[in-house]
Amino acid sequence: ADPWVLDTAPPAAPTNLAISPDTGVSATDGLTQIGTLTLTGTLGESGLLVFVYDGSQKIGQATVTGMSFSQSLNLSPGAHALRVEAADAAANVSSDRALNVFVDTTPPTIASMQDVSGTHTSPLPTIDVTFAKAIAPTTFTTQALALTGNGTALSTAGLTLSLVSGNTYRIG
């Protein structure tokens, strides 16, 4: 008779869950501007299957390479409670790990801006602008600005951007 081992121990839960691109204020906050993204993570052992859920709905089986996995996702705008679980060859299933993701496809709007109306005989040294929501400082550049004066486009060459606090930036 061939010996056999009854395996009833579940594998460890997946770890290091992340999405790419994560375009939020930090690279790990689960905020993104696009719904087409990749979920990645790490496994405690090789040879596992990885299942991905959005809430209670199974949305895919990830591609596993060694002790890493990835799953391409196409998420609609809004909140998503992603869950990932691993299963071994004996059908033992790990506890799940969660990653909250928010897909925000709405561009930021200006909530308030320093009043620059009136006649100016010299350039303004700075203008403070407050956005209605947080934006990623690493992606907010002078190329993202369109400035006009009396209906004429102004150059952004030589301008600087700096975070004042919260959602307020200084253009100088």
Backbone angles phi, psi at 31, to 5 degrees: -100, 135
Q: What is the mean pLDDT of each run of 10 residues along the chain (172 residues)?
A: 86 97 88 94 97 96 97 96 97 97 90 81 83 80 80 84 89 86
Query: Is 84 exposed, middle or buried (CB count within 10 Å of its CB: 0-12, 13-18, 19+)?
Result: buried
Maximal C-alpha separation, the chain:
98
Instruction: Please name every residue paired with 46 in a beta bridge, in sequence order, or none if there are none.
Output: none
Spatial separation of the C-alpha atoms in residues 75 and 119, rounded to whole Å: 48
